[in-house]
Amino acid sequence: MPPPIALSASSSSSSSFYLLTPPTSSSSQRIPKTPPFSANNRDRDTTLPLTATKTLRFSRRRSMACSAVSIEKETPEAQRPDTFLRESSSSSSVRARFEKMIRDAQDSVCKAIEAADGGGKFKEDVWSRPGGGGGISRVLQDGAVWEKAGVNVSVVYGVMPPEAYRAAKAASADLKPGPVPFFAAGISSVLHPNNPFAPTLHFNYRYFETDSPQDAPGAPRQWWFGGGTDLTPAYIFEEDVKHFHSVQKKTCDKFDPTFYPRFKKWCDDYFYIKHRGERRGLGGIFFDDLNDYDQEMLLSFATECANSVIPAYIPIIEKRKNTPFTDRQKAWQQLRRGRYVEFNLVYDRGTTFGLKTGGRIESILVSLPLTARWEYDHKPEEGSEEWKLLDACINPKEWI
């Protein structure tokens, strides 16, 4: 799931944004040590005077000490708050309207998923951060239709180290800002059906703001939108893929006719498993760091994209969820799930961001399926239905 939010994320990832606190400044210049690695040293002091670092060996411990940032842990909450925003936030701000949009989308998608499943119910966890913000994680597992379905939202404030900023914004490695204050909000979801003829879906929509880096006073505040929706089937039904892409194109065309071809290619390029030479699935739309249009237009566009998830996906599920299948077809689905795992853990910017900032691990990895499979040197027979899917992942097609 791409950066970002609890989501991928994902996009995506997929992934959440997590709140950080900057290192405390003091005259003694205390430097954080390596985080404890076992229960036996949890209570040890985690700082030492600057002069003491001279005695440390040139090791992983020392290299980590120079860039460590203390991380606020989540606090479980018994009830959902009306808003995760700070009291100073205006209800008419982009932040407030984006939060309302993603929470409404979470409610509507979860309702549609439960209705299609016919029995499964989402488990909900609400959490907050001491410094501000929080999130709502919802997961349905072992349902009649879905093996695992996660739909998460987060709205957080924080300060991220330079490496996390580069992961979030795909910034150049030679960019060396200090700790960057940020605000991030987003919805992220990955839906893994049981039936190998029913496709996996991922979607993620997020809004991000940064203030001036601490070593760049006076630098302008930045904001951007990101996200996308993409389809990952194990078997190709052309009418399903065309329906899905048609909904994405119709949504994009309401705002700019160049959006769909541009974001469709972006999606094909982003969800690329480099070490396999193939895409994760059959694409959709994806965009990131988008701020070169009017902010109100992009807010409306992100809203329309989130609202298009149900009409793009649920009709396909209803058509395929009860299709009979064999053990061989299930095994192929599990192999494709393995590809999904590889992309999310190795390449997804959202997952990378979450792991680098030490965020809520259940939210970061919610995109992973309950089950997957890796076979040594598996090659589908040329011309088979499995081969057709793999060929489409290696050679992206124009579906509409």
| DSSP annotation string for 217-233 | TTPPPEEEEEEEEEEE-
Q: How far apart are CA 272 and CA 290, in angstroms?
A: 20
For residue 164, give Cα distances in angstroms to 6, 107, 178, 201, 365.
15, 30, 11, 26, 17
DSSP state of 75: E
Tokens of 349: 């910017």
Q: What is the pLDDT of residue 53?
A: 32
Q: How far apart are CA 256 and CA 185, in angstroms?
A: 24
Q: How far apart are CA 293 and CA 288, in angstroms?
A: 13
Instruction: Give the three-class secondary structure for 24.
Output: coil
Q: How far apart are CA 22 and CA 388, in angstroms?
A: 50
Sign of the alpha-carbon dihedral angle for 365, 367, 368, 374 = negative
Peptide bond into 12 cis (omega under 30): yes
Q: What is the pLDDT of residue 91?
A: 87
For residue 299, give Cα distances in angstroms to 100, 123, 224, 255.
12, 29, 10, 11
Q: What is the pLDDT of residue 213?
A: 57
Contacts of 258 (CB under 8 A, 6+ apart): none
Catalytic residues: 202
Q: What is the pLDDT of residue 50?
A: 29
Contacts of 307 (CB under 8 A, 6+ apart): 105, 108
Q: How far apart are CA 205 and CA 7, in angstroms?
A: 10
Q: How far apart are CA 29 and CA 36, in angstroms?
A: 21
Nearest residue to 267 (alpha-carbon basis) of 214, 276, 139, 252:
252
For residue 308, give Cα distances in angstroms to 151, 264, 315.
15, 15, 12
Beta strands in the chain (DSSP E): 9-10, 12-13, 31-32, 47-48, 75-77, 123-128, 133-141, 146-160, 180-193, 200-210, 222-232, 272-273, 278-279, 284-290
Q: How far apart are CA 70 and CA 352, in angstroms?
A: 18
For the beta carbon of residue 274, count every other beta carbon within 10 angstroms. 9
Predicted TM-score of the model (pTM): 0.79
Instruction: Give the three-class secondary structure for 146.
Output: strand
Q: How far apart are CA 121 and CA 140, in angstroms?
A: 6
Q: What is the pLDDT of residue 3?
A: 38
Q: How far apart are CA 174 and CA 370, in angstroms?
A: 38
* Residue 31, strand partner residues: 48
Q: What is the dihedral of CA 275, 276, 280, 285, to 10 degrees?
A: 60
* Residue 210, strand partner residues: 182, 222
Q: How far apart are CA 155 and CA 355, in angstroms?
A: 17
**Which residues in the chain come in under a pLDDT of 70?**
1-72, 160-178, 212-220, 357
Q: How far apart are CA 66 and CA 329, in angstroms?
A: 50
The residue behind tokens 């703001």 is: 209
Q: Rounded to a whole number, what is the distance in angstroms from the first to the last CA of the chain?
A: 24
Q: What is the pLDDT of residue 58?
A: 31
